[in-house]
Amino acid sequence: MVALRKALSYSKKKVRPFTRKSAKKKKAFIKAVPQSKIVKFNMGDQAGFLAGKHNYCVRLVAEQKVQIRDNSLEACRQMVNKLLDKHLPGAYFFTIKVFPHHILRENKLAAGAGADRLSSGMRHSFGVTVGRAAIVPVGKEILNITCTDDRAARIAKKTLEQIKSKLPCQSRIIFEKIGK
């Protein structure tokens, strides 16, 4: 199994988005796009949300421009869904607002004895695809939770405070009442 590099390798880079793969396999730099690790983007009581029963909204907003890998977003999704299902069954609607379009590449170089025969250095330096990431600008909403009442909204806010450590950027939580 291939180990992932640290988030620092990708998160704070100035990026040029690579989102497309070529139809011509011989000429393409990106030959295969890895599948997104995020299983679901919407969870919870969607019918109640659409009917207007949810009165509170809690959002997680990025404070820095950053790349967030899809495995980080999936870890956040699993933790939020688990905690909200435990404390608020059927009283919330949770949405991931960013999508990992950007394709991450890695140019692996062999080091040690005989390494000159194993790699071509920077001759073919575009790299192999290793994952996906979402490019998030400053002020972009990352996660959104809508709830039915004040108690549920406070639990959702505590849940998002726990999630902040799983993301590679500074973020803030916005708590607001919807309508009514």
Q: What is the arithmetic mean of pLDDT over 150-163?
A: 91
- Indicate the pLDDT class of residue 57, thresholds 50, 70 and 90: very high
Q: What is the arithmetic mean of pLDDT over 85-103?
A: 89
d(CA 119, CA 104) in angstroms, rounded, equals: 20
**173 has pLDDT over 90:** yes
**100 has pLDDT over 80:** yes
**151 has pLDDT over 60:** yes
Indicate the domain borders of the chain. 29-104+125-177
- The order of strands in the sheet holding 66-69 is 66-69, 128-136, 102-106
What pLDDT, on a 0 to 100 scale, did the predictor assign at position 118? 56
What pLDDT, on a 0 to 100 scale, did the predictor assign at position 119? 59
What pLDDT, on a 0 to 100 scale, did the predictor assign at position 88? 87
pTM of the predicted model, to two decimals? Answer: 0.79
**13 has pLDDT over 90:** no
Residue 27 CB contacts under 8 Å (≥ 6 apart), including other chains = none
**110 has pLDDT over 60:** yes
Which secondary structure element, helix H or strand E, spans residue 106, and what is its range?
strand 102-106
HEC string of 37-96 equals CCCCCEEECHHHHHHCCCCEEEEEEECCCEEEEHHHHHHHHHHHHHHHHHHCCCCEEEEE
What three-state secondary structure class fits 131?
Answer: strand
What pLDDT, on a 0 to 100 scale, did the predictor assign at position 77? 92
Least confident of 13-22, 26-35, 170-179: 13-22
d(CA 162, CA 164) in angstroms, rounded, equals: 6
What pLDDT, on a 0 to 100 scale, did the predictor assign at position 156? 92
The verdict on domain 29-104+125-177 having CATH code 3.40.50.150 is no
**14 has pLDDT over 90:** no
